[in-house]
Amino acid sequence: MSILDIRVLGDPILRQNTVPVQEITDELRTLVADMFETMHYARGIGLAAPQVGRTERLAVIEIEGEPLVVINPEIVERSSGKAKAEEGCLSIPDIYADVERPKDVVVRAMDLDGKTYEVQATELLARCLQHEIDHLDGKLFLDYLSVLKRTAALTKWKLTQDKYPGFIRRTALETPEDRERHKHPDEEL
Ligand code: K1U
Ligand code: ZN
């Protein structure tokens, strides 16, 4: 398994639509395993394929130790009731904002066995599913903010974006311990 680099705000792939998965292959299973490993490492509760530079319509989620793979997910029902809560994004590190979304959703998706299932989601799972499906449609949580709040978030982002040359977050090299472990022998001199 591998920890993948995460694309950050500014990378055009985060604004593209994804392509439905036609076939479950070994390569896709490896991608899903790598996405789970990357999400755990980055301490996220979800991760969508475009965030790791891929165009497949798929995402992984894990909340309270319950892993969920959503392939070709679609929201088939949304509650009229809304809820507001703080969101973050692994592709926009250190920026957080309150986002209002439908409180509950029903999502239809396919699992890694190619079986279609439906999940009736509430609370954090409902929020996370909507956030990940937005990624698959090229949308980011910043898009829901007022002009004032979005401008403030983007101003803060501009101060930190230099940490991510080429819009790439080198997930496996974020802590001093990680960097030490990956050091080239020549760098010891
Ligand atoms: O897709 C992503 O960028 C992952 C994102 C998912 C998400 C977080 C919060 C609300 C909805 C969707 C994260 O995991 S950001 C990590 C984080 O800040 C967080 C972790 C646990 C609970 C809440 C936020
Ligand atoms: Zn995100």
User: For residue range 133-153, what is the model confidence (pLDDT) as tens digits?
Assistant: 999 999 999 999 999 999 999
Give, using CA atoms, the residue closest to atom 18 of ligand 1.
88
Structure-derived torsion over alpha carbons of residues 143, 58, 18, 108, reported in degrees to the nearest 10: -80
Is 139 touching ligand 1 by the criterion CB < 6 Å? Answer: no
Is 44 touching ligand 1 by the criterion CB < 6 Å? Answer: yes
CA of residue 91 to ligand 2 center, whole Å = 6
Residue 102's pLDDT is what?
98
Asked if 135 contacts 70 with a C-beta cutoff of 8 angstroms, the reply is no
Which of the listed residues 62, 95, 128, 142 should we mutate to test ligand 1's pocket, taking the one with most ligand atoms within 8 A of CB? Answer: 128
> Residue 35: nearest ligand to its CA?
1
CA of residue 187 to ligand 2 center, whole Å = 34
Q: What b-and-e string marks burial along 162-187, b requiring 16 or more CB atoms within 10 Å of the CB?
A: eebeebebbbbebeeeeeeeeeeeee
User: For residue range 31-80, what is the model confidence (pLDDT) as tens digits?
Assistant: 999 999 999 999 999 999 999 999 999 999 999 999 999 999 999 999 99
| Residues tagged active-site | 132
> Residue 87: nearest ligand to its CA?
1
Q: How many CB atoms lie within 10 A of CB 67?
A: 12
